[in-house]
Amino acid sequence: MNWKSTLKKKSQRISASSKKLIDEVMSDKVKRTEREILDDMWDVVERERGSGAGRIPTTRELRYYLSKNYDSAIYDVINDRVVVTMKTPNHKRKWFK
């Protein structure tokens, strides 16, 4: 694969085991940020197998998969209310089913 084909790549490839792991973590219907999802995935992998190499997706792959399969909203961290836009550092995007 040369650099031109790398630049033309349109979709983020994510492994089937990573998709399964994301769905497993999100199955409890709790609203989470991307960082919380990744932390919970590491906890699940360490508890089950000890090593998560190859199963944990990158942040970009995670964001791509979540945007296609889950809903999101921007929340205020202090009072956990939905806000319209991300204006301050206290606003975080959370994903849910």
pLDDT tens, position by position, 34-89 = 999 999 999 888 888 766 556 789 899 999 999 999 999 888 888 888 888 878 88
Beta bridge partners of 75: 82, 92
5 burial (CB, 10 Å; 0-12 / 13-18 / 19+) is: exposed
pLDDT for the residue 8? 65
Pairwise pLDDT comparison (24 vs 92), residue with the higher score: 24
With CA atoms as reference, report the closest residue to 73 among 57, 37, 97, 39. Answer: 97
At residue 25, the pLDDT reads: 92
In whole angstroms, give the CA distance from residue 35 to residue 7: 27
pLDDT of residue 1: 62
What is the C-alpha to C-alpha distance for residues 15 and 58, in angstroms, rounded to an integer?
Answer: 11
Q: Which tokens in the block code for residue 23?
A: 């769905």
